Amino acid sequence: MARHPEPVTELELRFGSPDETRGFARRLGELLKGGEVLALRGDLGAGKTTFVQGLADGLGIGRDQIASPTFVLAVQHRGKRLGLNHVDLYRLDEEEAIELGLEELMTGPGSEAAVTALEWAERAEDLLPLERIEVNLSWLGQEVRQMTISAFGVELEELLGRIAAEGRD
Ligand code: ADP
Ligand code: MG
């Protein structure tokens, strides 16, 4: 019988290489159903874009397409299964994020056909939906990053529980 994982609200992991970070994010991407919002936080070089590359992989989108969208602000990728909205809010404030149509992108019509990943989510803190995945990345060494991932919302807690259970197997 399928095991039902206990809900998990927070998971802390350490990655020893960019591929380890991408590997975790790929698995997460595979489990997403569409409509999810991921708020990514961490200093420049912490690995937010690298994480999104793995996520894209898991969604069936070529990871080579994923570059830092700092100059484009938002890029919409089409995937075989789900799309990916990759947004970088570094240069924006909340008002500009509203003008960009961020809320529509995250939760408007059609949003369930894609996943939205926001780099520098803190720039639009008040616009973030209550149900979301929070990913905090920090630099520990040249190739080492610490990640804290939190789930808000019952379904996302279950999803995180599933990933945590896999990690323990
Ligand atoms: P951000 O988007 O947070 O500014 P990037 O993902 O663009 O960060 O850059 C992270 C840099 O750190 C990349 O050059 C990546 O290859 C490198 N790196 C080294 N180790 C890791 C790791 N474990 N996880 C993610 N990136 C790593
Ligand atoms: Mg980046």
pLDDT at 66: 73
Measure the CA–CA gap between 87 and 102, rounded to whole angstroms.
9
pLDDT tier at 6 (50, 70, 90 boundaries)? confident
44 in contact with ligand 1, CB cutoff 6 A = yes
**Residue-wise over 133-147: b if at least 16 C-beta within 10 A, else e?**
bbbbbeeeeeeebbb
State the distance from the centre of ligand 2 to the C-alpha of 96, rounded, in angstroms: 19
Q: What is the pLDDT of residue 72?
A: 60
Residue 55: the pLDDT is 96
Judged by average pLDDT, the poorest of 19-28, 44-53, 57-66, 140-149 is: 57-66
**Chain segment 56-102, per-residue pLDDT in tens:** 999 999 777 777 655 568 888 888 889 999 999 998 899 999 998 99
- Who has greater pLDDT, 66 or 167? 167
d(CA 11, CA 24): 12
% of residues, the chain, pLDDT over 70: 95
Q: Is the pTM of this model over 0.85?
A: yes
Assess whether pLDDT exceeds 90 at residue 43: yes
| pLDDT tens track for 125-147 | 999 999 999 999 999 999 999 99
Q: In 32-52, which positions are buried (b, 16+ CB within 10 angstroms) versus exposed (e)?
A: beebbbbbbbbeeebbbbbbb
Best substitution site from 14, 24, 26, 50 to test ligand 1's pocket, by max atoms within 8 Å of Cβ? Answer: 50
CA of 145, nearest ligand number: 1
